[in-house]
Structure 1
Amino acid sequence: MQITQSLHRAVQAVPHEVCTVFGERKRTFAEVADRVARFAGALQRLGVGDGERVGIYALNSDRYHEFLLAVPWAGGVVNPVNVRWSPAEVAYSLVDCQTEILLVDDAFIGTIAEVREKAPALRTVIHMGEHAAPDGVLDYEELISGTEPVEDVRRRDRDLYGIYYTGGTTGAPKGVMLDHRAMLTSAMGSSISAGTVALRGVLLHAAPMFHLADGAAGNQANLTLSTHVMVPSFTPAGVIEAIQEHGVTNLFLVPTMIQMLLDAPESASADFSTVEQVLYGASPMSETLLRRAQDVFANAGFIQAYGMTELAPVATVMSPADHGRPELARSCGRAAAHSEVRVVDPDDTELPPGDVGEIVARGDHVMQGYWNKPEETEAALRGGWMHTGDMGYMNEDGYFFVVDRLKDMIITGGENVYSVEVENVLAKIPQVESVAVVGAPDEEWGERVHAFVILREGETLTLEEVQAFCKEHIANYKIPRSMEIVPVFPLSGAGKILKRDLRKELWDDAGRSVN
């Protein structure tokens, strides 16, 4: 199994069909294959050999797609950099896995001097933007035009494909090592589990391409000979325009993006009839938001994928048919075709249906480990199972329900409160646009339930109103005892709310530390 195999197949089957679209630029599969082979040759001339890491620090583009194929074609390993990081964090990831070659676009070329200062081993920078390359930096298009195509070295199976750094929501980022077999096992298994495998679709890359969630959707599109449409980054107007102009059939969006898309004025008159599949993940979606999305994307089947980077990234899948069952509204689906999933107690003993414990998974999609972190690897993969850090349970029919992150569970007065449960209730309040619930320090209870709330435009809301609403839905000890109205939430590159940052602010103010 190898990532580049899909491109070889496409050149045989549909060489003159459109492979990538970026702005006004369209390229066929044959053109993309030629460019990939030429850029791979350029990388080899620059010293990329077996397993050499090559980084990319850029917004979405057709060239990003080429990079993801050209690096393994040349024999290397991809290191996609989180574009939300500071230069110091970027340098950390480059130093951590000894990345000596980095591709950069127009958006980030201005930070390279600082990155190089903090990562002195970075010997080569390649500019892949639309403007001229600055002095001391190689030009992507000149490398392609000036290099003859080379044969694919065909890295495969257990050869390392990429090092994907975790978002750091619970601490310093760790480099997740994923091989070719893991990436393709996850892509194939999740496609089969969703029951929506179809050839020649049109996938929109609006989520960041550095993140594995979008990468997994891209791998599925490669396998089905689909067209890739890229927008540099997510904006509601940009997504709506791309859908209508290019007949997009497949979307991957995180719930925060879906919310912004539905709230955009342009969506009221937009034609979304071409969209056949909406894949979402990275964080839960409230029932209210899901219903709104299903009304807007009336022709689309909705698919939820649950997992993590360490699982390449899918563990369970909620199919379109499952979305029609009210009793499964908060489920993340059943174990995907390629994944074995169970719920365990702190001693790693499997729990019966209905009991809450940690969700663990195993299969060929599981990471090799964390780069240069043997102790963390051993802890995460103990017993041969990837320990997700998510608390949940399985029902009698094999459907999984995530109730919280281990670190997000609130213990107040000796009672366990799962923040997701409280958030689901608060999301039903008409004035609430988005919400995050965390534990705040409390002298009496140890921790109290605290809600951070973003309100809809022009709305007001008091803690007393929130508490009165909650009393109709959840036990008293789960009801927020404090609340803060905020304009925005801190987000990871995958669009997840960084609850660690929210907690840290509360605990720092109290003069106490938080993990």
Structure 2
Amino acid sequence: MDYLNQIKPTDCFAHRLLETRALENPNDTFFTFEGESYTFAQCNQTANRLARNLLQAGIQAGTYVAVLMETSVEYLHLWMALSKLGAVSVPINTAYRGDILTHVLKTCQATVCVMDECFVGIVEEASAGFESFAQVYVRAPEGRALSAGAKHFETLYSPNDDSNLVVAQRHDDTAVIIFTSGTTGPSKGVILSHHYLTAYGLMYAEINGLKDDDVVMNFLPFFHIAAKFMTIGTLVSRGRMLLQKRLSISTFWQEVKAHRVTNFIGVGGICNMLISRPETADDSKTTIRTIYAVPDPADIHAELERRFGCQITTVFGSTEAGLPLFRGVGDAYRPKSCGRVSPYYEVQIVDADDNPVPVGTTGEIVVRPKRPFLTGSGYIGMPERTITAWRNLWLHTGDSGHMDEDGWFYFDDRVSDSIRRRGENISSFEVEVLVNKHPAVSEAVAVATPSEIGEDEVLVQVILREGHTLRPEDLLKHCCEQMPYFMVPRFIGIVNDFPRTATAKVEKYRIRAASRSAQIWDREEQGWKVTREGLFDPQGQAVGSFSAPCHGSALAAPSQKMAELVRD
């Protein structure tokens, strides 16, 4: 289906797709979450009521709203309500804490914060020392006492007009700010217009050939662009969505069978994890039609398609660049290729001076759209980084690749120092900054090293301050105190110096090449375990914890510091 060309650019709004479905298919199921199904009409009416209550609370077009919430029905309602208002949603990674969260909160320009109760403590800590929010809403159990200044999120669901709210806004207005990995500096907030965000979902539906009988399994968090474009793809195709808080490999196929899932994203090592389970006679009888695998695992591609009776689609894209390269439904398979050029983009491989390189030569992948607003609109609060990334009228992806004589593109490596672990982009710069906070560390380097299940693991090498000693286990504990769980390094090396150039620059490629030497400590080999909940020693004892999860645990008690988050 040619979805993108069927919708006028000026009509590209996520909430308008919802309104159209609610008008045309009001009683059809839009999504299912934790056993409950919700129709297009129910979702649209609730979002309208929520939007009007937000408006009466002073949240309007142009208001920036930071959101720290686990995947939930309320999160989806809130996203659609903010879109209807013309407010700017700033979804924040719920694993962020400390300095990283402080940077995001300072940069995003949000004056309103909506959060689950279990994130109150980390937001208080991260926001200390800068201007507080005008309003704070906390999703907590009914009747739970909150500190002065905070309001219950549920009050925004109070009765109100549930007809479509009409607010004047343009398709090129900012809809969402999504923070992605900073590769040579702090994380960057990518500015996404309504048109770009919506078009991303339309392109996803096209690449996967989604239709009205498709069921999309969406287990990615809403602070990732993927969860949003899968939702939009469901809306435009008139399909259904199975919304989940997270993926469970152990129950994956039961969920597929129960809900007749036809499409999901094989991000990170998911494909490897699925193929590693014992094969059964029923594997090829599933309802799965397409697996959107990023990257497409060439070593198991044929086995995946044979075993599960499906087709694998793939792309090269990013939060900033859209989906400029793809291999969609019906396209031929070219091993290890990420696809050919989308009809909506131009793509080149260029050298360090932005000159195109010959076929087969590796260079940086640069992108520009053939129609307006098909890439991000820059980085919030970072004009210099925006100019650098979009220089010479091309968006520079920071990734290197090459093209063959038939026009197929291949991803070769990262020009920058980004690390991708199990679907999360990790800034080596941010890892290094946080490791360097340990009083025994003089200098730190973080690099990617291949993971057995696909993508990368994080490796850190450190030089100690003179007169200091440090065990890898103690540095691991420090990292768990400072970082989100997914950023914590698996491999730690304590060295006398790094390989360097004649000008003393660290030669990271040499560290990567020698990453599994005998001097490198492997926490998994040593029996240490890092989960979302915390750090566990080889005896299984908890020795550190991350921010309290919102699922399956008691919610945090009201904090006395909440009043400080809200401006008078």
Task: Pick the aligned partner of 1:372 from 355, 375, 381.
Answer: 381
Deviation at 1:18, TM superposition (A): 0.8
Q: 1:394 to 1:434 in 2, by over 3 A?
A: closer
Q: Distance in 2 between matches of 1:81 and 1:226?
A: 27
Q: Determine if the alignment matches structure 1 residue 15 to structure 2 residue 26.
A: yes
Matches within 5 A, 1:73-92: 73-92=84-103
Q: Secondary structure at the match of 1:54?
A: strand
Q: 1:443 to 1:64 in 2, by over 3 A?
A: closer
Per-residue displacement from partner, 1:283-315 (whole Å, max 9, x unpaired)? x343224344324422x221112111112x322
Matches within 5 A, 1:181-220: 181-192=195-206, 194=207, 196-220=209-233
Q: Show the counterpart of 1:360.
A: 366
Deviation at 1:485, TM superposition (A): 5.0
Q: Show the counterpart of 1:277.
A: 290
Conserved in 1, the CA contact under 8 Å of 2:349 and 2:402?
A: yes
Deviation at 1:77, TM superposition (A): 0.8
Q: Secondary structure at the match of 2:264?
A: strand
Conserved in 2, the CA contact under 8 Å of 1:190 and 1:338?
A: no
Conserved in 2, the CA contact under 8 Å of 1:449 and 1:482?
A: no
Per-residue displacement from partner, 1:459-489 (whole Å, max 9, x unpaired)? xxxx7xxxxxxxxxxxxxxxxx997755399
Q: Aligned AA for 2:49?
A: R
Query: Structure 1 residue runs of 4+, over 6 Å off?
Result: 265-272, 437-440, 481-484, 488-491
Provide the identity percentage.
24
Q: 1:106 to 1:202 in 2, by over 3 A?
A: farther
Q: Distance in 2 between matches of 1:139 and 1:371?
A: 29
Q: Determine if the alignment matches structure 1 residue 387 to structure 2 residue 396.
A: yes
Q: 1:127 to 1:406 in 2, by over 3 A?
A: same
Q: 1:70 to 1:126 in 2, by over 3 A?
A: same
Q: Secondary structure at the match of 2:128?
A: helix
Q: Secondary structure at the match of 2:305?
A: helix
Segment of structure 1 superposing worse, 152-161 or 34-43:
152-161
Segment of structure 1 superposing worse, 144-153 or 436-445:
436-445
Q: Determine if the alignment matches structure 1 residue 301 to structure 2 residue 314.
A: no
Q: Distance in 2 between matches of 1:271 and 1:291?
A: 13
Q: 1:212 to 1:244 in 2, by over 3 A?
A: same
Matches within 5 A, 1:42-61: 42-61=53-72
Deviation at 1:13, TM superposition (A): 1.5
Task: Pick the aligned partner of 2:188 from 153, 174, 199.
Answer: 174
Larger fraction in helix: 1
Conserved in 2, the CA contact under 8 Å of 1:435 and 1:452?
A: no
Conserved in 1, the CA contact under 8 Å of 2:269 and 2:453?
A: no
Conserved in 2, the CA contact under 8 Å of 1:272 and 1:297?
A: yes
Q: Determine if the alignment matches structure 1 residue 250 to structure 2 residue 263.
A: yes
Q: Aligned AA for 1:302?
A: I
Structure 1 residue ranges without an equivalent (≥5):
410-418, 454-462, 464-480, 494-515
Q: Distance in 2 between matches of 1:272 and 1:138?
A: 49
Q: 1:24 to 1:107 in 2, by over 3 A?
A: farther
Structure 2 residue ranges without an equivalent (≥5):
1-11, 419-446, 462-497, 533-568
Q: Aligned AA for 1:304?
A: T
Deviation at 1:352, TM superposition (A): 2.5
Q: Distance in 1 between matches of 2:189 and 2:165?
A: 29
Q: 1:3 to 1:125 in 2, by over 3 A?
A: same
Per-residue displacement from partner, 1:162-209 (whole Å, max 9, x unpaired)? 1111133543111111101212333334543x2614224221111222
**Relative contact order, higher structure (CA 8 A, sep 6+):** 2
Per-residue displacement from partner, 1:120-141 (whole Å, max 9, x unpaired)? 4223232346666541443333
Q: Determine if the alignment matches structure 1 residue 159 to structure 2 residue 173.
A: yes
Q: 1:277 to 1:190 in 2, by over 3 A?
A: same
Conserved in 2, the CA contact under 8 Å of 1:52 and 1:77?
A: yes
Conserved in 1, the CA contact under 8 Å of 2:271 and 2:297?
A: no
Q: Show the counterpart of 2:429.
A: none
Q: Determine if the alignment matches structure 1 residue 117 to structure 2 residue 128.
A: yes
Conserved in 1, the CA contact under 8 Å of 2:211 and 2:237?
A: yes
Q: 1:351 to 1:434 in 2, by over 3 A?
A: closer
Q: Aligned AA for 1:388?
A: T
Conserved in 2, the CA contact under 8 Å of 1:56 and 1:103?
A: yes
Q: 1:406 to 1:484 in 2, by over 3 A?
A: farther
Segment of structure 1 superposing worse, 9-18 or 59-68:
59-68
Matches within 5 A, 1:338-487: 338-363=344-369, 364-407=373-416, 432-434=452-454, 436=456, 441-442=498-499, 447=510, 449-450=512-513, 485=522, 487=524
Q: 1:187 to 1:4 in 2, by over 3 A?
A: same
